[in-house]
Amino acid sequence: MITKYFGDMLNSKVKIETDFNRNTVKDRYNDKNGVCLFGSFHFDYKNHFLKSPTSERHLTKKEAAVLKLLCLNKNNVLRREIALKLIWGKDDYFMGRSMDVYITKLRKFLKEDPSVSIVNVHNVGFKLEVKD
């Protein structure tokens, strides 16, 4: 019984990772080169570069990974445990606090466009809200 439970968890993790890497997920970007356009921002994941009409910023690898997941789930909830497992490899308190720091940094970068925000969904995760 316990083996089945952990086997199901492993299968779920594999499915999440497969979906994350599958072309259909990548197709949610505006082009095939890893570029996401939202609000007034142009986000190039491959080069870890976030550009707006007034500024340009090079992101760290973790900042870019978090923003990529948020972009892939634009206007939908990104579950906290999924992001933690995909980016940090595990879901624990300390990794969660680390992710909170990256979310705070991204919010500072995105605050220049009032139509874009990262919203907390209590006890669930985060949502990149883009108002049209």
Question: Phi, psi at residue 64, to the nearest 5°?
Answer: -65, -40
Look up the pTM and report it.
0.76
Q: What is the largest CA-CA distance in the chain?
A: 57
Model confidence at 26, in pLDDT bands (50, 70, 90)? very low
Q: Identify the pLDDT of residue 31.
A: 47
Sketch the domain layout of the chain as residue ranges.
2-130
Say whether pLDDT at 28 is over 90: no
Model confidence at 16, in pLDDT bands (50, 70, 90)? low
Say whether pLDDT at 32 is over 80: no
Give residue-wise pLDDT tens across range 65-74.
999 999 999 9
Beta bridge partners of 51: 42, 56
- Residues 80-95, mean pLDDT to the nearest whole number: 94
Model confidence at 5, in pLDDT bands (50, 70, 90)? low
- CATH code of 2-130, in short, is 1.10.10.10
CA distances from 27 to 12, 72, 81 (A): 22, 9, 23
CA distances from 124 to 42, 77, 78, 102 (A): 27, 8, 8, 17
Give residue-wise pLDDT tens across range 103-129.
999 999 999 999 999 999 999 999 999
